[in-house]
Structure 1
Amino acid sequence: MALFTDPLHDDPTLAEGDVDWLHMVVGEWQLIADLDFADLVLWYPVAGSEVTGRGFVALAQARPFTSQTSLHRDIVGSRVRSDLKSLVDQAWTTGEPTATAPSVHGPDSSMRVAVWPVVRLHRSIGVVTVHQNLTGQRTPSRLELVYRESATHLLTMLSRGQWPETDDPVSGSHRGSPRVGDGVLRLTAEGLVDFATPNAVSAFRRLGETEPLEGRSLARMVTDLQDERRPVDESLPLVLTGKAAARAELEVRSVNLTLHTVPLRDDAGRFGALVLLRDVTELRRREQQLIGKDATIREIHHRVKNNLQTVGSLLRMQSRRMHSEEAKKGLEQAMRRVDTIALVHETLSRGLEQQVDMDSLLGRQFRLAVEVAGDGREVSTEFRGGFGQLPSELATPLALVINELAMNAVEHGIGPEGGQVGLSARRTQTPSGERLEVRLWDSGTEAGAGDHGRVPDGGREPRRIADGPEMGVEGDSRQGRGMKNEGEKVQGEAAGVAPAPGPSSGLGLHIVRTLVAGDLRGTIDWMALDSGGTEVVIQAPVPER
């Protein structure tokens, strides 16, 4: 549950740890709302005028799951009503709870409000109001009496700085955490069951316990039910005795229960405990099914990776038998594409998260592609920015695009003397959503450096990518030697560098264009650089999580 923290920012009266304590209160106070059948509001003081004096603003609000709400409107961020202000201010000033006020909203009001201070280190750091709806109230049952009595114990502990427990694990970190409606046991200081709700009794029936629970030791009952050969949750003894705030899981006869203990204390010490329990058998069964499916999918990715590596090896063997340099180069390029896809499947086989860390995957793939395409030349790499976490379905097309562009940059943008190929990525927010911008550039050749036509905007001339150089695209003989215009062939011959085979180069750019437009739903452009190289710019939307 979120806490409205604006009034807490830069408040000099707050000590270290006060804000964390308020977060803990809001994280655990649903228990009080359910036990007391009431709405809760957390208030904090704010400055007022000279006339009105100190005011209070609502930081958080909780509604009960065990009854209808009393406050239908969300009041978080609102100022306290004038008819409640004096009670809230009194609790804040004195550090003591105020008496319930049935007529705080008028003589005929059906609302009763109790006000409790939130105390830490013997000083007030907040005020909680408890709003109960008295409409249709009848003679309470024993369950309701026990619930409300337990809620009063917890509120008293809250006003004395004894609750929440600092060593109690955070609720959200424990899947299947129980609530009041799932089942409650109240224990004595000796660990005997003093009261059990019907849902708690039913849960123990499923464990195999047919005798009444009240008056018996909870720890002894569970010990008798457990199979000695099964491992035991190390927190279970603390939960069963109620000696400390703890959470544990119990499995008996294929039935899974989660338990959460809340010790009850007064000035003399611990006098009892509440144990909340929930049957999570079906939840755990589904989790096991998901784990099995996850393992199966990981194994499939692993086998696909192995199969792709086998295909790559076959292509490598075939290329060695080829006498045509053009055919050999075509097979080598196909082999590198297969290896790129295999690398993606290897990454996916290590985990099945919906989001993939693309920086580690593409950084490795980029350097590998440059090293392989360099063929012994001294080509350095540079990687700036970051891709971040992206959906797994983008991993393969983005890796193939980076692989093709990196190889193309080395083969057509770097001369025998070597050079540098760079890659950068950044994510930006636009009115239409988040976008990913990827830039890949080469340093060009010494022969082509400074041989571009200059343009007024700083030496860059954007060109939308189309088909490759052998597919009929008109080029500029003065453009940089990079990825791909007719001019690169002229400059290549002038520099004494053999141009790459036309069909394979054209296929690579055709693959890039198809993947960017289709899978990535983006655009791709290139620019001529003053240094003699070429920069490719890809822009694509980032799907929402």
Structure 2
Amino acid sequence: MTDVKQQINRLCKLHTSLTVKDIEILVEKSKSLQMIADLAQGNVFIDCVTEDPQTAVVIAEAVPSTAPSLYRYRVVEKKILASYEPAVFKAYRTGRPVMMNRALTHEGSHVCQNVTPIQNQEGLTIGLLILETDITPQVEQEQELAILSETTAEFGRTWDIVLKDQMIPDYLEEALILLGEDGAIQYANNFAIGLIREHSLNQTQNLTNRDILQVLPFVDETDFSHRGIAQREVRSMDKVFILRSICLLDKKADSKRMLLYIRDITDLRDKERQLMVNQVVIKEIHHRVKNNLQTVASLLRMQMRRGVPEETKQLYQESLNRIASIAAVHDVLSNSGIEKVNMVNIIKKITTGQVFFPYQPDCSVSIDIHTEEDIELNSAQAVSLALIVTELIQNCMKHAFIGRSKGNITIHFKRNGQMIELGVFDDGNGLDDYIDTNHLGIEIVKNLTSYDLNGKFGYLPKNGQGTMAWVTFPDREE
């Protein structure tokens, strides 16, 4: 955070005439950027208008960890011009937020841009908080729809036919409003009439020829002043609506009408917010589980330091390794927010972060990891496999290198068609009946493989030197 503070101070002093207090406000706002980016799954920036009122500079940014970034490179210190970012400079001039604005990035991505002014204690706008989310798929769909605008004249004639049978549009659960070129209402279906009466203080029974701007406050003049198809999202009375406006041209009469289609998507947005909240809650649960496991491990280490019988130290260390394996999985889940774990990273954490009991104190053991690709597993599979890897390594440490000065353990992890394969090989003394199938570690591996992974476990001598143990299980998506 210190680097970000220095960065903001340097850029503000270089490009703006903001006071020290103003810069402190911007620094404080920057502390929330990463959280906003993760929750909204979008890029977040703070821009400041420079001494040239037509130019702004990016002084801080946050890239989401929950979605791909909109930009391949950092944009801090980049300058933007008013002609390219009208929403940013409109928010700066008016001191009011500009929401749901559409823009095109210099890398060709379509984004939904929300701009909120940052003001000081005197009410002056000193910076702009900008959230950009990717809407490229949505725009592509709209562009396909825009092709249909070439036939709007034919659609206008079809609409006249529909109006003759009023029952058809009145069965729709969306508002349909037909406007004249001046914005006067020519037709409204039942849903539209109900929507207007919710929003209009003047409960006039006859809506014909009423100005749409007088009865629906969230409709803007730009919604019926264009000659194509437009869409935007609006909020009114704690509800969220999609407002589409379609121009119906009559080339013969050189006139136009406008069809407004208004759909209530409040439930959809509420569910999206609930999903975002649930994702945060799940991350917090994994974080707490990890912390609780680390607390248990700390208590075990404390007990070991205070003194335990020599014959039980090995059991304590094995238990610590098992706890650490499970904690490693929950640590990844608490940071990612998704129920998928990159097992290559987990295996590396297990082999480098844990202290395996020195069963053969005079033997130096190295561990090599070979993987073909990154493999992601769901959380349940990941916990089971992490424990299996830990048990197999401990088993090698305990039995394979008796009387040896050095040894090597090799871990292979790969996907083979619909199956995932884990192999743990050592170059030790070989399979000399040392694997006791009643041993707790082997029993754990067998049970986890069979019951949790629905897979198979086996072990064999490795070409007369060392032992190879393997686990195979189906790759399932949940």
The bucket for the TM-score relative to the shorter chain is: 0.5 to 0.7
Give the corresponding residue for 1:421.
410
Per the alignment, do residues 372 and 328 of structure 1 end up closer, same or farther by CA in structure 2, a change over 3 Å counting? closer
Give the corresponding residue for 1:511.
444
Conserved in 1, the CA contact under 8 Å of 2:318 and 2:357? no
Give the corresponding residue for 1:406.
393
Q: Deviations over 1:296-353 (max 9, x none)?
A: 3332222222111100110111122334333112111111211222222223334554
Conserved in 2, the CA contact under 8 Å of 1:365 and 1:399? no
Structure 1 stretch 517-526 or stretch 255-264: which is displaced more?
255-264
Q: Let me know the Cα RMSD of the aligned residues.
A: 4.7
Matched, 1:523 2:456: yes
Give the corresponding residue for 1:142.
163
Amino acid at match of 1:252: S
Conserved in 1, the CA contact under 8 Å of 2:234 and 2:241? yes
Amino acid at match of 2:389: I
1:280 to 265, 287, 308: 265
Give the corresponding residue for 1:15.
none
1:388 to 375, 387, 398: 375
Determine the C-alpha separation between the residues in 1 that align with 2:385 and 2:301: 24
Determine the C-alpha separation between the residues in 2 that align with 1:356 and 1:270: 57
Give the corresponding residue for 1:349.
334
Unaligned runs of 5+ in 2: 1-136
Matched, 1:440 2:432: no
Conserved in 2, the CA contact under 8 Å of 1:218 and 1:240? no
Q: Deviations over 1:231-271 (max 9, x none)?
A: xxxxx886575566444322222122122344556889994
Offset at residue 225 of structure 1 (A): 5.7
Conserved in 1, the CA contact under 8 Å of 2:344 and 2:374? no
Amino acid at match of 1:537: W
Matched, 1:486 2:428: no
Determine the C-alpha separation between the residues in 1 that align with 2:386 and 2:164: 61
Determine the C-alpha separation between the residues in 1 that align with 2:342 and 2:477: 16
3-state DSSP class of the match of 1:486?
coil
Offset at residue 369 of structure 1 (A): 6.0
Give the corresponding residue for 1:53.
none
Q: Which has the larger radius of gyration?
A: 1
Per the alignment, do residues 422 and 251 of structure 1 end up closer, same or farther by CA in structure 2, a change over 3 Å counting? same
Give the corresponding residue for 1:460.
none
Determine the C-alpha separation between the residues in 1 that align with 2:373 and 2:221: 48
Q: How does 1:189-200 map to 2 (within 5 A)?
A: 193-200=185-192
Give the corresponding residue for 1:296.
281
2:237 to 253, 266, 271: 253
3-state DSSP class of the match of 1:521?
coil
Amino acid at match of 1:248: R
TM-score normalised by L of structure 1: 0.49
Give the corresponding residue for 1:110.
none
Offset at residue 213 of structure 1 (A): 5.7
Amino acid at match of 1:486: D
Determine the C-alpha separation between the residues in 1 that align with 2:426 and 2:367: 10
Offset at residue 208 of structure 1 (A): 4.9
Determine the C-alpha separation between the residues in 1 that align with 2:182 and 2:229: 16
Unaligned runs of 5+ in 1: 1-19, 37-113, 117-131, 133-138, 149-178, 227-235, 429-434, 449-479, 489-501
Per the alignment, do residues 516 and 147 of structure 1 end up closer, same or farther by CA in structure 2, a change over 3 Å counting? same
Give the corresponding residue for 1:541.
474
Matched, 1:379 2:363: no
Determine the C-alpha separation between the residues in 1 that align with 2:300 and 2:224: 64
3-state DSSP class of the match of 2:406?
coil
- Structure 1 vs Structure 2: percent identity of aligned residues? 24
Matched, 1:322 2:322: no
Determine the C-alpha separation between the residues in 2 that align with 1:316 and 1:340: 16
Give the corresponding residue for 1:92.
none
